[in-house]
Amino acid sequence: MTAKAIIARLEATLTPLGVFRSRPMFGGHGLYLDDLFFGLIAYDKFFLKTDEHNRGDYVKAKAKPFSFESARKGLVVTSYWQCPDAVMKDGRKLRQWIGKALDAARRKKASPHRGERIRR
């Protein structure tokens, strides 16, 4: 599925839940619902925000995290995991998984350690 098709699918699925928008970001797209960043599209793949509360769903589905190479840091593995195809095809499941991604984004936003860097 192309980024354009993913965005169209998300607009159709999420618009009743709030204001959905996508913004260009590093060659991909950042995805927001009511201005809360919950996912991204990179290389025509759809990734959702995870944390310790919902990551097990992705592991069980054998999904992979979004990762990239950084000249300074080497391999960077993010907290965004690819949405399984079976979830993407089922509107009800998709809304549930996005709901969990939104919950993860809210928890991260409310975290007192948000934005802190660990110094080594």
pTM of the model: 0.87
- Domain ranges within the chain, ordered by starting residue: 3-110
Q: Which residues contact 56 (CB under 8 A, 6 or more apart)?
A: none
The encoded tokens of residue 51 equal: 């944390």
Question: What would the pLDDT profile of 16-71 be if each residue is shown by its tens digit?
Answer: 888 999 999 888 999 999 999 999 999 999 999 999 999 999 999 999 999 998 88
pLDDT for residue 6: 94
CATH architecture of the domain covering 3-110: 2-Layer Sandwich (3.30)
The encoded tokens of residue 65 equal: 């995290």
Query: What is the rounded distance in angstroms from the CA atom of residue 60 to the CA atom of residue 42?
Result: 22
Question: What would the pLDDT profile of 62-100 be if each residue is shown by its tens digit?
Answer: 999 999 988 888 899 999 999 999 999 999 999 999 999
